[in-house]
Chain A
Amino acid sequence: MIKSVLIFNNHGNPRLTKFYQSIDIATQQALIKEIFQLICKRPDTVCNFLEGSQLLGGQDTRVIYRHYATLYFVFVVDESESELGILDLIQVFVESLDRCFENVCELDLIFHFKEVHDILAEVVIGGMVLETDISDIVGSVQENNRLIKKSTAGRSPLPQKLPFQRQ
Chain B
Amino acid sequence: MDSLSREVVKIFSSLSSQQQQQQQQQPLQGKRTTQDDAFSRESVARLKQTISNPNTSTATMKDNMVKLIYGEMMGYPVQFGAIYALKLAQSGQTVAEKRAGYVACSLLLLDGNELNIMLVNTLQKDLSSSNYHHVIVALITLCSMTLTDVIPALVTPVLQVFSHPQETVRKRAVIALKRFYIQLPEMVLPYLNQLKDALRDPEPSVMSAALGLFAEIVKDHAEDNKDLVPILIRILKQVVEGRLPKGYMYHGMPAPWIQVRCLHLMALLGFNDLSASKAMTPVVMAAFHRAAQGVDAAFAVLFEVIKTLNTFHPDIILELVQSTDPHTNPLLVISRFATSANPNLRYLGMALLDQVLPQAWCDTWWTDSLLTAVVESLDSRDASLQRRTLDLLFRLLTRENSLNIIERLTVALHSTEDPLQRDKLLGQILRGSEAFGQSEEWYVDSVFALLASQNPAVTLHAAELVINVLERGKIKW
- Residues on A close to B: CB < 8 A? 1, 10-14, 16-17, 20-22, 25-26, 28-29, 37, 40, 42, 45-54, 58-59, 80, 82-85, 87-89, 107, 110-111, 113-114, 117-118, 121, 125-133, 135-136, 140, 144, 147-148, 150-153, 156
Residues of B within 8 A of A150 (CB): 94
- Whether B110 contacts A22 by the Cβ 8 Å rule is yes
Interface residues of B in 92-135 (CB under 8 A from A): 94-96, 99-100, 103, 110-111, 133
- Whether A126 contacts B74 by the Cβ 8 Å rule is no
Shortest 10 CB-CB distances between A and B: which pairs? A126-B143, A84-B300, A46-B382, A47-B343, A133-B247, A22-B146, A47-B347, A148-B96, A29-B75, A126-B144
Total number of residue pairs linking A and B with CB closer than 8 Å: 175
> What CA separation (Å) do A136 and B168 show in the bound complex?
10
- Whether B300 contacts A82 by the Cβ 8 Å rule is yes
Main SS of the interface on chain B? Answer: helix
Residues of A within 8 A of B73 (CB): 14, 16-17
- Whether A128 contacts B297 by the Cβ 8 Å rule is no
Q: Across the interface, name the chain B residue whose C-beta is closest to A153.
A: B2
Q: How far is the CB of A157 from chain B (nearest CB, A)?
A: 9
Flag the segment in B47-55, B225-233, B384-392 that touches A. Answer: B384-392
How many interface residues does B have (CB within 8 Å)? 85
Q: How far is the CB of B452 from chain A (nearest CB, A)?
A: 26
Residues of B within 8 A of A87 (CB): 344
> What CA separation (Å) do A95 and B380 show in the bound complex?
32
- Whether A46 contacts B34 by the Cβ 8 Å rule is no
- Whether A118 contacts B99 by the Cβ 8 Å rule is yes
Residues of A within 8 A of B5 (CB): 111, 156
Residues of A within 8 A of B351 (CB): 83
Q: Indicate if B212 sits at the interface (CB-CB under 8 A).
A: yes
- Whether B140 contacts A121 by the Cβ 8 Å rule is yes
- Whether B382 contacts A110 by the Cβ 8 Å rule is no
Residues of A within 8 A of B248 (CB): 132-133
- Whether A85 contacts B256 by the Cβ 8 Å rule is yes
Flag the segment in B81-89, B169-177, B433-441, B461-469 that touches A. Answer: B169-177
> What CA separation (Å) do A129 and B140 show in the bound complex?
13
- Contact status of A130 and B171, CB under 8 A, knowing A84-B344, A147-B96: yes
Q: Indicate if B449 sits at the interface (CB-CB under 8 A).
A: no
Residues of B within 8 A of A135 (CB): 247
Show 14 residue pairs from A and B whose CB-CB distance is below 8 angstroms, ordered by the A residue: A14-B74, A17-B73, A25-B72, A82-B300, A83-B348, A84-B344, A110-B11, A118-B99, A125-B143, A126-B179, A127-B144, A128-B179, A130-B172, A133-B248
- Whether A28 contacts B75 by the Cβ 8 Å rule is yes
Residues of B within 8 A of A50 (CB): 384
Main SS of the interface on chain A? Answer: mixed
Residues of B within 8 A of A125 (CB): 140, 143-144, 172, 175
Q: How far is the CB of B62 from chain A (nearest CB, A)?
A: 8
> What CA separation (Å) do A52 and B23 show in the bound complex?
30
- Whether A49 contacts B347 by the Cβ 8 Å rule is yes
Q: Across the interface, name the chain B residue whose C-beta is closest to A12.
A: B31
Contact of B31 among A13, A45, A121 (CB under 8 A): A13
Q: Indicate if B217 sits at the interface (CB-CB under 8 A).
A: no
Residues of B within 8 A of A156 (CB): 1, 5, 9
- Whether B12 contacts A110 by the Cβ 8 Å rule is yes
- Whether B420 contacts A58 by the Cβ 8 Å rule is yes
Q: A11-B31, A130-B171, A148-B95 are in contact. List 17 more A-B contacts (CB 8 A).
A: A12-B28, A12-B31, A13-B35, A14-B74, A29-B75, A40-B27, A46-B380, A46-B384, A47-B346, A49-B347, A80-B264, A83-B347, A84-B300, A85-B300, A125-B140, A126-B176, A127-B144
Q: Across the interface, name the chain A residue whose C-beta is closest to B302.
A: A84
> What CA separation (Å) do A81 and B74 show in the bound complex?
28
Q: Mark B439-451, 1 if CB is under 8 A from A, else 0.
A: 0000000000000
- Whether A46 contacts B75 by the Cβ 8 Å rule is no
Q: How far is the CB of A79 from chain B (nearest CB, A)?
A: 10
> What CA separation (Å) do A28 and B15 show in the bound complex?
21
Q: Across the interface, name the chain A residue whose C-beta is closest to B103.
A: A117
Q: Across the interface, name the chain B residue whose C-beta is closest to A33.
A: B31
> What CA separation (Å) do A29 and B77 show in the bound complex?
12
- Contact status of A83 and B344, CB under 8 A, knowing A22-B146, A111-B5: yes
Q: How far is the CB of A133 from chain B (nearest CB, A)?
A: 4
- Whether A54 contacts B300 by the Cβ 8 Å rule is no
With most chain A CB atoms within 10 A of its CB, the pick from B72, B297, B344, B388 is: B344
